[in-house]
Amino acid sequence: MEITVVVQGKTGAGKSSTNNKLFYLNLATDNAIACTKVPQIIYLDNSHYEHLNLPYKTVRVIDMPGIGEGIQEDKTYMPFYEEWIPQADSLVWVIQADTRAYKRDEIFLLKLAPLFKSSLFLTVALNKIDLLGTDEGEQPFDLELGQPSVAQLKRLPEKVEDLYNIFKGAIGNQICFEKHQIIPYTSEYGWGLAELKTKILTRK
Protein backbone atom coordinates (compact mmCIF):
# COMPACT_ATOMS: atom_id res chain seq x y z
CA MET A 1 0.00 0.00 0.00
CA GLU A 2 1.24 3.44 -0.93
CA ILE A 3 0.29 6.61 0.89
CA THR A 4 0.84 10.22 -0.04
CA VAL A 5 1.44 12.88 2.59
CA VAL A 6 0.91 16.41 1.28
CA VAL A 7 2.37 19.22 3.35
CA GLN A 8 0.50 22.42 2.67
CA GLY A 9 0.14 25.83 4.31
CA LYS A 10 0.99 29.51 4.16
CA THR A 11 4.42 30.54 2.99
CA GLY A 12 6.77 31.07 5.91
CA ALA A 13 4.73 28.91 8.28
CA GLY A 14 7.56 26.36 8.27
CA LYS A 15 6.57 23.54 5.91
CA SER A 16 10.07 22.74 4.73
CA SER A 17 11.63 23.20 8.18
CA THR A 18 9.04 20.83 9.61
CA ASN A 19 9.71 18.22 6.94
CA ASN A 20 13.43 18.52 7.55
CA LYS A 21 13.00 17.90 11.28
CA LEU A 22 10.36 15.18 10.93
CA PHE A 23 12.07 13.10 8.28
CA TYR A 24 15.74 14.15 8.62
CA LEU A 25 15.78 15.82 5.23
CA ASN A 26 17.75 18.65 3.80
CA LEU A 27 15.17 20.74 1.94
CA ALA A 28 16.18 24.31 1.21
CA THR A 29 14.88 26.77 3.78
CA ASP A 30 15.42 30.49 4.10
CA ASN A 31 14.69 32.97 6.86
CA ALA A 32 13.92 35.87 4.57
CA ILE A 33 12.42 34.76 1.30
CA ALA A 34 10.21 31.97 -0.04
CA CYS A 35 12.26 29.22 -1.61
CA THR A 36 9.99 26.25 -2.37
CA LYS A 37 8.78 27.17 -5.85
CA VAL A 38 7.75 23.74 -7.13
CA PRO A 39 6.52 20.70 -5.17
CA GLN A 40 9.33 18.58 -3.73
CA ILE A 41 8.63 14.84 -3.75
CA ILE A 42 10.35 12.77 -1.09
CA TYR A 43 10.19 8.98 -0.70
CA LEU A 44 10.65 7.93 2.91
CA ASP A 45 12.60 4.85 3.89
CA ASN A 46 10.69 2.46 6.12
CA SER A 47 12.69 3.29 9.27
CA HIS A 48 10.21 6.12 9.70
CA TYR A 49 7.16 3.89 10.03
CA GLU A 50 8.10 0.23 10.53
CA HIS A 51 7.91 0.56 14.36
CA LEU A 52 4.36 1.88 13.99
CA ASN A 53 3.23 -1.39 12.47
CA LEU A 54 1.72 0.16 9.41
CA PRO A 55 0.95 -1.76 6.22
CA TYR A 56 2.73 0.75 4.00
CA LYS A 57 5.09 -0.21 1.21
CA THR A 58 5.80 3.32 0.11
CA VAL A 59 5.32 6.67 1.79
CA ARG A 60 5.88 9.77 -0.25
CA VAL A 61 5.87 13.25 1.17
CA ILE A 62 5.06 16.24 -1.02
CA ASP A 63 6.48 19.55 0.17
CA MET A 64 4.31 22.19 -1.51
CA PRO A 65 5.08 25.81 -2.40
CA GLY A 66 3.31 27.98 0.18
CA ILE A 67 -0.01 29.72 -0.22
CA GLY A 68 -0.48 33.45 0.27
CA GLU A 69 2.93 34.49 -1.04
CA GLY A 70 1.27 37.01 -3.34
CA ILE A 71 -1.68 37.48 -5.67
CA GLN A 72 0.37 36.38 -8.68
CA GLU A 73 2.16 33.51 -6.93
CA ASP A 74 -1.13 32.10 -5.65
CA LYS A 75 -2.29 31.85 -9.25
CA THR A 76 1.00 30.33 -10.41
CA TYR A 77 0.97 27.60 -7.78
CA MET A 78 -2.72 26.67 -8.12
CA PRO A 79 -2.11 23.92 -10.73
CA PHE A 80 0.30 22.24 -8.27
CA TYR A 81 -2.39 22.19 -5.60
CA GLU A 82 -4.96 20.89 -8.06
CA GLU A 83 -2.58 18.14 -9.06
CA TRP A 84 -1.51 16.95 -5.62
CA ILE A 85 -4.38 17.59 -3.22
CA PRO A 86 -6.65 14.93 -4.85
CA GLN A 87 -3.84 12.39 -4.34
CA ALA A 88 -3.38 13.13 -0.64
CA ASP A 89 -4.12 10.43 1.93
CA SER A 90 -2.69 12.49 4.74
CA LEU A 91 -2.86 16.25 4.47
CA VAL A 92 -0.70 18.29 6.81
CA TRP A 93 -1.79 21.92 6.97
CA VAL A 94 0.99 23.92 8.61
CA ILE A 95 0.08 27.20 10.30
CA GLN A 96 1.99 29.45 12.64
CA ALA A 97 0.88 30.19 16.19
CA ASP A 98 2.03 33.80 16.52
CA THR A 99 -0.55 35.29 14.17
CA ARG A 100 -4.30 35.73 14.34
CA ALA A 101 -4.78 36.06 10.59
CA TYR A 102 -6.05 32.85 8.99
CA LYS A 103 -8.21 34.17 6.16
CA ARG A 104 -5.88 32.94 3.43
CA ASP A 105 -5.96 29.42 4.90
CA GLU A 106 -9.74 29.64 4.93
CA ILE A 107 -9.87 30.76 1.29
CA PHE A 108 -7.65 27.92 0.10
CA LEU A 109 -9.43 25.30 2.19
CA LEU A 110 -12.75 26.36 0.65
CA LYS A 111 -11.21 26.01 -2.82
CA LEU A 112 -9.43 22.73 -2.19
CA ALA A 113 -11.87 20.84 0.05
CA PRO A 114 -13.98 19.67 -2.91
CA LEU A 115 -10.84 17.90 -4.23
CA PHE A 116 -10.27 15.89 -1.03
CA LYS A 117 -10.45 12.09 -1.07
CA SER A 118 -13.25 11.04 1.27
CA SER A 119 -10.70 8.99 3.25
CA LEU A 120 -8.35 11.96 3.66
CA PHE A 121 -6.92 12.51 7.12
CA LEU A 122 -6.23 16.16 7.91
CA THR A 123 -3.69 17.26 10.51
CA VAL A 124 -3.47 20.94 11.37
CA ALA A 125 0.18 21.41 12.35
CA LEU A 126 0.34 24.40 14.69
CA ASN A 127 3.98 25.48 14.36
CA LYS A 128 6.06 28.13 16.17
CA ILE A 129 4.36 27.48 19.48
CA ASP A 130 7.55 28.91 21.02
CA LEU A 131 6.42 32.36 19.83
CA LEU A 132 2.83 32.10 21.10
CA GLY A 133 1.89 35.26 22.99
CA THR A 134 5.45 36.55 23.35
CA ASP A 135 4.59 39.76 21.48
CA GLU A 136 2.01 40.44 24.17
CA GLY A 137 4.55 40.12 26.95
CA GLU A 138 3.87 36.50 27.93
CA GLN A 139 6.50 34.36 29.64
CA PRO A 140 8.62 33.04 26.75
CA PHE A 141 9.33 29.45 25.73
CA ASP A 142 11.41 27.58 28.32
CA LEU A 143 14.68 26.96 26.49
CA GLU A 144 16.18 24.86 29.29
CA LEU A 145 13.36 22.37 29.48
CA GLY A 146 12.67 22.72 25.76
CA GLN A 147 8.95 23.22 26.29
CA PRO A 148 6.38 26.04 26.27
CA SER A 149 6.08 28.20 29.38
CA VAL A 150 3.17 27.73 31.76
CA ALA A 151 1.58 30.90 30.38
CA GLN A 152 1.86 29.61 26.82
CA LEU A 153 0.33 26.24 27.73
CA LYS A 154 -2.52 28.09 29.42
CA ARG A 155 -3.13 30.12 26.27
CA LEU A 156 -3.17 27.04 24.06
CA PRO A 157 -6.77 25.74 24.49
CA GLU A 158 -8.15 29.14 23.47
CA LYS A 159 -5.94 29.13 20.37
CA VAL A 160 -6.98 25.60 19.42
CA GLU A 161 -10.65 26.46 19.88
CA ASP A 162 -10.31 29.50 17.61
CA LEU A 163 -8.51 27.49 14.93
CA TYR A 164 -10.96 24.63 15.14
CA ASN A 165 -13.86 26.98 14.40
CA ILE A 166 -12.09 28.57 11.42
CA PHE A 167 -11.00 25.24 9.90
CA LYS A 168 -14.23 23.39 10.63
CA GLY A 169 -16.17 26.26 9.06
CA ALA A 170 -14.13 26.05 5.86
CA ILE A 171 -14.08 22.24 5.52
CA GLY A 172 -17.72 21.66 6.45
CA ASN A 173 -18.66 18.00 6.38
CA GLN A 174 -16.40 17.10 3.46
CA ILE A 175 -14.17 15.06 5.76
CA CYS A 176 -14.08 14.25 9.45
CA PHE A 177 -12.24 16.87 11.50
CA GLU A 178 -11.90 16.96 15.31
CA LYS A 179 -9.98 19.13 17.72
CA HIS A 180 -7.39 16.44 18.47
CA GLN A 181 -6.24 16.78 14.86
CA ILE A 182 -4.70 20.14 15.71
CA ILE A 183 -1.16 19.44 16.95
CA PRO A 184 0.89 22.22 18.56
CA TYR A 185 4.65 21.95 18.13
CA THR A 186 7.81 23.87 17.35
CA SER A 187 10.07 22.80 14.49
CA GLU A 188 12.79 25.09 15.87
CA TYR A 189 13.06 23.42 19.30
CA GLY A 190 11.48 20.03 18.64
CA TRP A 191 8.68 20.07 21.20
CA GLY A 192 5.60 18.22 19.86
CA LEU A 193 7.33 16.88 16.75
CA ALA A 194 7.08 13.21 17.75
CA GLU A 195 3.34 13.43 18.27
CA LEU A 196 2.94 15.24 14.97
CA LYS A 197 4.86 12.54 13.13
CA THR A 198 2.77 9.75 14.63
CA LYS A 199 -0.44 11.57 13.78
CA ILE A 200 0.54 12.15 10.18
CA LEU A 201 1.65 8.57 9.54
CA THR A 202 -0.95 6.61 11.54
CA ARG A 203 -3.70 8.95 10.35
CA LYS A 204 -5.77 8.64 13.52
* Interface residue list for other proteins (CB under 8 A): 10-12, 31-34, 66-74, 96, 98-104, 106-107, 131, 134-135, 166, 169, 188
Alpha-carbon distances, residue 156 vs 98, 130, 131, 152 (angstroms): 11, 11, 12, 6
Q: Are 121 and 204 in contact (CB under 8 A)?
A: yes
155 or 203: whose CB is closer to other proteins?
Answer: 155
71 or 145: whose CB is closer to other proteins?
Answer: 71
Q: Least CB distance from residue 22 to other proteins, whole Å?
A: 19
121 or 167: whose CB is closer to other proteins?
Answer: 167
Which helix (H) or strand (E) segment holds residue 94: the answer is strand 90-96
CA distance 15 to 43: 16
49 or 185: whose CB is closer to other proteins?
Answer: 185
17 or 19: whose CB is closer to other proteins?
Answer: 17
CA distance 14 to 7: 10
Q: Are 159 and 128 in contact (CB under 8 A)?
A: no
Q: Are 134 and 98 in contact (CB under 8 A)?
A: yes
Q: Least CB distance from residue 70 to other proteins, whole Å?
A: 5
Q: Least CB distance from residue 157 to other proteins, whole Å?
A: 18
89 or 105: whose CB is closer to other proteins?
Answer: 105
Let me know how long the chain is.
Answer: 204
Q: Least CB distance from residue 146 to other proteins, whole Å?
A: 13
Q: Least CB distance from residue 7 to other proteins, whole Å?
A: 16
Q: Least CB distance from residue 102 to other proteins, whole Å?
A: 7
| 120 CB-near residues (< 8 Å, 6+ apart) | 88, 89, 90, 91, 175
